[in-house]
């Protein structure tokens, strides 16, 4: 195997993370062994430990990369756009994106960065790993905690914009409502996995509209 140049190192690290993400999104953190990650990425064990040092540190790096990408996507959905989309429509766009991204099924032979993908419904690492790693890895738990806090803050900001446009009652506590909505959709994601259908998301969409209309102070 050819030596990796300094310029290539970030690409190799990213490749290992992306391959590991696909596997872990499908099987969980504990369910994926190091040998499986190495085989999927096509790298030797020495390269893995050079970049990460341990599987736990790999998990931290994986979550950091995933959350950075997720938050960028969230910003694209929630922030004001050139089309002048109303804040409430932007918020519902996020929940619709959640619905589609969690239910859509990728082809079994699809690949990203040379790595086999799994169902898109398994791709949300927050849903997949929160319960699994919370009692197992404090650094990974904290990474997920920070990520979910950032998500809820962005939802709250969009809700404040909804209030300014008269699309959500002025008396609403936007911080509390943002947390309630996020908890609702996390719960829907777990039920969707158990039921293997989209009915939980359909109910979550309806409940979201109702909560926005009747938001308590």
Q: Higher-confidence residue: 67 or 106?
A: 67
Q: Cβ–Cβ contacts within 10 Å for residue 130, how many?
A: 18
For the chain, helix (H) and strand (E) counts, in that order, are 9, 2
List pLDDT tens digits, range 103-157: 643 333 344 444 444 443 346 889 889 889 988 999 999 999 999 999 999 999 9
Tell whether the model's pLDDT for residue 13 goes beyond 50: yes
Higher pLDDT, 93 or 124: 93
Task: Say which CATH topology domain 63-213 has.
Answer: Tetracycline Repressor; domain 2 (1.10.357)
Contact 16, 34 (CB under 8 A): no
Tell me the per-residue pLDDT of 39-50, one tens digit each, with 9 for 90 and over: 999 999 999 999
Q: For the stretch 90-123, what's the b/e string if a residue is b when 16 or more beta carbons lie within 10 angstroms of its beta carbon?
A: bbbbbbeebbeebbeebeeeeeebebebbbbbbb
Model pTM? 0.84
C-alpha torsion angle, residues 68, 89, 214, 190 (rounded to 10):
-40
């Amino acid at each position: 195997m050819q030596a990796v140049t300094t310029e290539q190192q970030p690409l190799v690290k990213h490749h290992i993370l992306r391959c590991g993400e696909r596997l872990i999104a499908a099987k969980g953190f504990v369910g994926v062994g190091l040998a499986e990650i190495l085989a999927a990425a096509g790298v030797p064990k020495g390269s893995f430990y050079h970049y990460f040092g341990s599987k736990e540190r790999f998990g931290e790096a994986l979550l950091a990369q995933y959350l950075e990408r997720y938050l960028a996507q969230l910003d694209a959905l929630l922030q004001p756009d050139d089309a002048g989309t109303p804040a409430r429509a932007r918020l519902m766009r996020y929940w619709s994106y959640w619905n589609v991204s969690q239910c859509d099924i990728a082809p079994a032979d699809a690949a990203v960065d040379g790595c086999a993908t799994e169902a898109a419904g398994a791709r949300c690492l927050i849903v997949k790993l929160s319960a699994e790693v919370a009692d197992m890895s404090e650094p990974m738990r904290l990474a997920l905690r920070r990520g979910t806090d950032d998500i809820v803050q962005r939802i709250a900001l969009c809700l404040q914009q909804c209030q300014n446009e008269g699309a959500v009652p002025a008396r609403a506590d936007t911080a509390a409502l943002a947390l309630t909505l996020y908890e609702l959709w996390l719960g829907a994601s777990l039920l969707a996995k158990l039921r293997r259908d989209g009915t939980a998301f359909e109910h979550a969409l309806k409940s979201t509209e109702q909560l926005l209309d009747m938001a308590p102070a």
